[in-house]
Structure 1
Amino acid sequence: MSTANLATSAGLVHDELVPSRYALQVGDLDVLVISDGVLPIPAETLATNAGAADLAAWLKEMFLPPDLIDWPLNVAVVRSGERTILIDSGLGLEFPDFPRAGRLALRLEAAGIDPESVTDVVLTHLHMDHVGGLLSDALRGRMRQDLRIHLATAEADFWAAPDFSRTAMPAPVPEVLRSVASRFLDVYRHQLRPFEREYEVAPGVVVSRTGGHTPGHSIVRLESSGDRLTFAGDAVFQVGADQPDWHNGFEHDPEEAARVRVRLLRELAATGESLVATHLPFPSVCKVAVAGDAFRFVPTVWDY
C-alpha cells in the first residue's frame, strides 16, 4: 500500500501524512509551531572549531549521516488577544534546488491561517532561511498593508555591509545571504519596527536581542499565567546541548554565540520553561536539563 493510499485508506483526508504543525498553549497564548521543511547542510558546519574525529563520533552517536545532514526549519505563530504574530518565515524560494524547504505558505493554509490575519512578524535575524518566506509570491502579496515587522536595529544596520570573515559557510551561501537581506530590507523597510534591546510586541510576547549568531540576533519570550516558552532562533542548534562550545559555521561572532548559547541554556535549565528553536527536530518543544558541563534536551510529550 502506498503512503498516498494509506493517508485515505480509512476514508479520511489528510493535508499531509507526516505532521508539520503542532499546537500548544502557553497560558492564554495560542502557539502553533510549523515546519518549513528541511535543508541539506554539510555536517562540518556544525562544529568548525572541533576536530573531525570528534564531530564524526558525535554524528555517529546521534545516528546522523557523516557528510550531509537535514537541518530542520521551524517557525511559529502566536495569538495574543487580537494580535497574530508570525515568528520568522522560513526559506521561501531562495534556493529552488531545495524542494523540501520553503513550505510555510502551504502549511499556513493547511492550518487555516490567512496571511492577511497576521498583524506582526518578529524576525530573529535576516538570514535567508528566516526571511525568505516573506519574499515569496505566496506570502508577499497576501500580507496586510499595515503589517508590523519587528527586528533589532543592530540587525538591519549589520546587513548594510555584512562581515562574513568569521563564518565558515558553503561557498555560494554568503552572497545569497547578502542579496536576500538586501532585498528584504528594500521591500519591507517602511514596515520595520526596529528595537534596541527589548520590545513587547503584544501582551506576553517579548523579543530580546542576544547578538552572537548575528549582531542583532534575537529570541522571543512567551509568558502567560505562569507558563513560559522561549523561541531561541539560531542561538541553539541540535549539537548545542552536548557541545555548547562548538562553533556553527553560520555564526558571525562564534565566541559570543557560544557565550549566548551557554547563558541561555543555563537559564532555561534553571527556570524549567519550554524551548523551541529553528533548527531542532520538529516540533522541537523541549525542556533543558544540566548534564555535567553540558546539557540535555528533554523532549516534551505531545499533548493530544
Structure 2
Amino acid sequence: MNFDVSPHPGGSERDELVPSRYALKVGDIDVLVISDGVLPLPTVMMGHNVDPAVRAAWMDGNFLNRDAFDWPLNVVVARSGGRTILIDAGLGLDPNLDLPRAGQLIKRLEAAGVDLASVTDVVLTHMHMDHIGGLLVDGVKERLRPDLRIHVAAAEVDFWEAPDFSHTAMPPGFPDALRSTAKRFMDEYRGYLRPFEAEREVAPGVVVRRVGGHTPGHSVVRLASDGDGLTFAGDAVFAVGFDQPDWHNGFEHDPEEAARVRVQLLRELAASREQLVATHLPFPSIGRVAVDGDAFRWVAAFWDY
C-alpha cells in the first residue's frame, strides 16, 4: 500500500507554503518522511568543544546565522509486511516551552492520511523530548491501538530512571524539560514498551539497532528490501557532523562515544552507498554519504516528483 500524499480536505496542506512530507520506496517498503517543524537553538549546541571563532566561521561558510539555528525535526513512517511503523514521535506541545514552529507531527500525519489507529509499532531512537513528545499530545493515546508496540533499547529505559546530564552542555531549562517529559512518557506508556538489548527486526526489513553515544540506548533504524537500503540515524548525525564529525553536540550524554559512533556510521553508509535520513538534517534529509579526505560529505538526493 502506497502512502496517500495528496491534500486532504480540512488538512493543514492548504495553509502551508512549503511541503512537509516526502514519500519514497525502499524496495517493497513504503517510506514517508514528515517534518515536525523546526526547533530554534543557540549555535553553540552545534559544537561546544571548539573555539567560538571556528564555529562562527563554519556557520558563515554555510550561510547560517552565527547565534541561532533552526534545527529541523524529521520523523519517518514505514509500511512493511502489513505493519505501519512510526519511527520517533516528534516534540509534541510542551506548554512550558515557547516553540510554536515545532510539534507539528500529529496534524501532518492526518494531512498525509496516516490514521493513528493504523500505527502498529513505534520505534524510538531515544527518549529525548523531541522524539517522544508527540505521543503525549492531548487525545493521542486514546486514538492509538491497545496492542501498540513501542520498541526502545533497554539501556535507554534504564538511563531515564535516573538520567545523568554531567557531560551535556544544554541551554537552561532543557535538562528539567527532558527529565519531566521522559518521566511522563514512562508513566503513560510503560505497559506498551517492548525493550530490546542490541537489535530487533520490527517488521520485514525494518531493523532497529542500539549504537549508544548520543544517549546510552540511542538506536538507528535500517530499512532494507530488494537490494535497496535506508538508515534513519536519529541524532547520531547532525548537519555539522559530516565535515566536523568530532564536534560535540550539547545534547550528547557521552560526547566522545557519540563522535566514535558517528564516524563508524558514516563510514558504513559511505561504503554501502545506502540512503541516510536523520532527525536534524534539512527536510526531507534524504541523501548519501561520501568520504571527503579525513571527513565526510553529505550528498542530498534529487527530489523525485
- Counterpart of 1:257 in structure 2 is 258
Q: Which residues of structure 2 form unaligned runs of 5+? A: 1-12
Identity %: 71
| Residue matched to 2:213 | 212
CA distance in 2, matches of 1:259, 1:48: 17
The runs of 4+ residues in structure 1 deviating greater than 6 Å are none
User: What is the distance in 1 between the residues matched to 2:211 and 2:179?
Assistant: 21
How far apart in 2 are the matches of 1:97 and 1:160? 27
Question: d(CA) in 2 for partners of 1:192 and 1:36?
Answer: 23
Distance 1:279 1:139 in 2: 24
Please give the TM-score of this superposition, normalised by the length of structure 1.
0.95
Q: Secondary structure at the match of 1:141?
A: helix
Partner of 2:31: 31
Secondary structure, counterpart of 1:37 in structure 2: strand
- The CA distance in 1 between the partners of 2:112 and 2:45, in whole Å, is 33
What's the offset of the Cα at 1:186? 1.0
Look up the match of 2:285: 284
| 1:132–1:180 CA contact under 8 A, matched in 2 | yes
Which letter maps to 1:212? Answer: G
Partner in structure 1 of residue 56 of structure 2: 56
Unaligned runs of 5+ in 1: 1-12
Distance in 1 (CA, whole Å) between partners of 2:97 and 2:83 is 32
Q: SS at 2:194's partner residue?
A: strand
> What's the counterpart of residue 225 of structure 1?
226
Q: CA RMSD in A?
A: 1.1
Deviation at 1:202, TM superposition (A): 0.3
Hey, what does 1:98 align to over in structure 2?
Answer: 99
1:270 pairs with 2:271: yes
Alignment of 1:132-143 (within 5 A): 132-143=133-144
SS at match of 1:14: helix
For 1:144 and 1:17, how far apart are their aligned partners in 2?
A: 33
Shift of 1:97: 1.0
Question: How big is each residue's C-alpha offset from its partner over 1:58-82, in whole Å with a ceiling of 9 and x where there is no partner?
Answer: 0000001011110000000000021
- C-alpha deviation, 1:190, in angstroms: 0.5
Q: Structure 2 matches for 1:91-130, cutoff 5 A? A: 91-94=91-94, 96-130=97-131
Alpha-carbon shift at residue 272 of structure 1 (Å): 0.1
TM-score when normalising by structure 2: 0.94
* Kept after mapping to 2: 8 A contact 1:154/1:196: yes
Structure 2 counterpart of 1:205, one-letter code: V
CA deviation vs aligned residue, 1:187-231 (integer Å, no higher than 9, x gap): 100100000000000000000000000000000000000000000
Aligned to 2:246: 245
Which secondary structure state, in structure 2, belongs to the residue aligned with residue 167 of structure 1? coil
Q: Distance in 1 between matches of 2:287 and 2:97?
A: 31
Counterpart of 2:252, as a letter, is: E
SS of the aligned residue for 1:249 comes to coil
How far apart in 2 are the matches of 1:33 and 1:138? Answer: 23
Report the count of equivalent residues.
Answer: 293
> C-alpha deviations, 1:254-289, integer Å up to 9, x for none?
000000000000110000000000000000000000
Deviations 1:97-117 (A, max 9, x none): 101000001100000010000
Describe the superposition over 1:145-171 as per-residue Cα deviations: whole angstroms up to 9, x where unpaired.
Answer: 111000000000000000000000001
* CA distance in structure 2 between the aligned counterparts of 1:210 and 1:37, rounded to whole angstroms: 26
- 8 A Cα contact 1:105 1:138, kept in partner: no
5 Å-filtered alignment, 1:40-55, equals 40-55=40-55
Structure-1 residue corresponding to 2:3: none
- In structure 2, the residue matched to 1:5 is none
